[in-house]
Chains A and B, each alone.
Chain A
Amino acid sequence: MNSTYLRMLVFQPTGHVVWVHEESQPAQCLPRRIPNVGKELDYVIFNGTLKPALYNWYNDFKNYKLISHTDSQTLRVIDLPDEFVNTVRLMRAKCYVMWSIINNIEIQKEKFDLVSNPIANTDIDINKLSAIFETQLGITQQDSKKLIQFKRDEILQNLEYLNLAEIRAELILSQATTVDEVTAYFELVKTELMMTQAIILDKLL
C-alpha cells in the first residue's frame, strides 16, 4: 500500500480542506511557500496510508466534503454546511490563484538563475571571486569586479521585482471579497506574469 503525502490548508471552523497539494515523492519534496491568504486557514499535513473509502479523495475535495484537523491527522468526509459554502469557495479561489502565482514566480526565479546563485552571495570575498573571473575570462581585475558587480546587481534587482510582485498579489487576493473579483484579478495577473499554462479556475471551484 503506497503512502500518501498531502499538504493542505483547511477552514478552521469546520476542518474542510480548501487547498491541497499531493507530493508524489514526499522524501524529495522541496519546501515551497503555501498560498495561505486567509486568516481562517490552518496548515495541515497528511502523511500516511489512505483508507479504501478515501482512495478517490480528490472528488470529495472538489465537492467540498473532505475534512482534516490539525489534531487528528486523519481525513474524513462530511458535507460542508450551507452557511459556509460561499466563504470556502472564495477561499479556494484565492488559494489556487495565489498558488499559481507562487509557482509562476518560482519558475521565473529558476529561469533567470536567481535561485541560490553563488555570485549573489555577498559572503563570498569579492577578491577571491574576482580572481576566478580574471583567470577564466582573461580580463583585468578592474573589469572583473565591474562584471561581478553587474551580475550581483542584476540578480538582486530581479529578485526584488519578483518578490514585490508576489507580495502585491498576496495583498490583493487577501482583500478580495468575491470569487468574481478573484477571477478578474487572475485574468490580469496571468498576463502580467506571462503565464501560458495557467489552471482553469472554474474547474476547481
Chain B
Amino acid sequence: MPVDRFNLLEKFEPQPKELQFVNIVPDPKFNLTNLTTDWQDRFWALMDETASNVYKTVGNRSIVVMYSGGIDSTAVLVSLMKNPNYKEMLSSGRFKLAMSTSSILENPNFFYSHILGTIPFFPADYITLMNDPDILLVTGDCGDNVIGSTDTPMVNDLNASKSLLWPYFDSIDKSGKTSKFAQEICKFAPFEIDSINQVYWWIGQCFTYQGEMCRPYEWSQTTDLTNLATQNKVYRFFMDDVFNTFSFEHMSTDPCYTNYNDVRKFARTYIVDYTKDSSYLNKIKSFSIRYLLRFTFKTAIYEDLTYSTHIEKINS
C-alpha cells in the first residue's frame, strides 16, 4: 500500500504489517550545499531533459498525453512538442492527446493555436488507455509536489510562518491531533521547514505523492500492477528523478511567492517562451481535472486486515 513514502508513520506507532505500507518512489538525491539561484533555467532544462527521457522510454509504442489544459500538462505537452522526435512521432500517428471539453475551456488559445489543426485528440478514458499495451501514457501528475501545492489553503502569504497553520488545523480538527501530527512530521524534513508552503510541500511528499502516482491505476481498475512503480506504462513527467532532485533543493530555499500565480511561474514562463502568449502568465486556475469523468474504486479493509475492492467483494 503506497502511502507513507518515508516510513514516518512507524515513528509514531507500530503499523500493522498486514497493511504493508511501502515506498515505491526512489529516494530523492539532493545536495543542499552550494545551491545556485538559476532555478528557472534549471527547471526549463529539466523539462527538455525529461521530454527526451519520455521519447527514450516509448519504444515502438504510441505516446498519449493526458492533457487537462492545466499548467502542468500544457508544460509537459510543450516540452514534448519542442523535442526533435516530436515530428516523426506525430507524422507516424504515434502522438495523441486524451482530453475533455474542459481541457479546451481551461486554455482555449493554446487549443485552437497549437492542438486543433495539428495533433489528434480524443476523449480521455483511463480504462481503455491503461489496458492498451501499445500506449505510453504521459501525465503531469505530481507537479504539485515539485515546487509547492496549488491546493495550499488560500492564505494571504504562502511564505508566512508555519505557526499560523496550527490554529487553522485546530479549527478544523478540534482534537488537535492534525495540528500535532503536522508539527511532528515537519521535524523529519531534510531541512528546516519554515513557511506554510513548505509544510504543504513536505506533507505532500510524505503522504500524497505516491497516491498521485497510483491515480491511473486506481481510475482504471487495472489489475496488472507490474509497472506501478516504474515510468514504463505511465510516465509521470514531474516524478522523473531529475525533478525529485530539483524539488528538494529548490524547496530548501523556501522560495518566495508574491502571489497565487507565482507557484507555477517556472512552468508558465516555459509555456509562454514557446507560445509567445504573455497573457498566459496571469491565467487563473480552473481546476480542469475535476471535470474529467472518472470512477474511484474503494478498497475495503476488514477487521482481520485483509482487503479487497468492492467488485471482488460483492461478486464473491
Give, as a whole number of angstroms, the nearest-CB distance from A63 to chain B: 30
On whether the beta carbons of A154 and B100 are closer than 8 Å, the reply is yes
Complex Cα distance A147/B117, Å?
10
Give, as a whole number of angstroms, the nearest-CB distance from A137 to chain B: 7
Specify which chain A residues have a CB less than 8 angstroms from the CB of B123 in the assembled complex: 150, 153-154, 157-158
Range for the number of chain B residues in contact with chain A: 10 to 19
Task: Give residues of chain B (275-306) contacting chain A, Cβ–Cβ below 8 Å.
Answer: 291, 293, 295-298, 300
Q: Is the interface of A mostly helix, strand, loop or mixed?
A: helix
On whether the beta carbons of B125 and A185 are closer than 8 Å, the reply is no
Specify which chain A residues have a CB less than 8 angstroms from the CB of B314 in the assembled complex: 172, 185, 188
Complex Cα distance A146/B119, Å?
11
Specify which chain B residues have a CB less than 8 angstroms from the CB of A162 in the assembled complex: 293
Specify which chain B residues have a CB less than 8 angstroms from the CB of A137 in the assembled complex: 112
Given A150-B122, A184-B313, also A112-B112 (CB < 8 A): no
Specify which chain B residues have a CB less than 8 angstroms from the CB of A139 in the assembled complex: 112, 116-117
On whether the beta carbons of A188 and B293 are closer than 8 Å, the reply is no
Specify which chain A residues have a CB less than 8 angstroms from the CB of B291 in the assembled complex: 111-112
Question: Does A123 have its Cβ within 8 Å of any Cβ on chain B?
Answer: no
On whether the beta carbons of B297 and A192 are closer than 8 Å, the reply is yes
Complex Cα distance A165/B294, Å?
11
Complex Cα distance A136/B298, Å?
44
On whether the beta carbons of A147 and B116 are closer than 8 Å, the reply is yes
Most buried by B among A153, A162, A185, A191: A191
On whether the beta carbons of B310 and A192 are closer than 8 Å, the reply is yes
Given A108-B293, A112-B293, A184-B313, also A151-B112 (CB < 8 A): no
Given A108-B293, A150-B123, also A192-B101 (CB < 8 A): no
Given A185-B314, A188-B310, also A165-B117 (CB < 8 A): no
Specify which chain A residues have a CB less than 8 angstroms from the CB of B121 in the assembled complex: 150
Specify which chain A residues have a CB less than 8 angstroms from the CB of B101 in the assembled complex: 113, 151, 154
On whether the beta carbons of A143 and B116 are closer than 8 Å, the reply is yes
Question: Does A85 have its Cβ within 8 Å of any Cβ on chain B?
Answer: no
Q: Which residues of B contact A (CB under 8 A)?
A: 100-101, 112, 116-117, 121-123, 125, 291, 293, 295-298, 300, 310, 313-314
A/B interface sample: 10 pairs, CB < 8 A: A111-B291, A113-B101, A137-B112, A139-B117, A153-B122, A158-B123, A158-B293, A184-B300, A187-B298, A191-B296
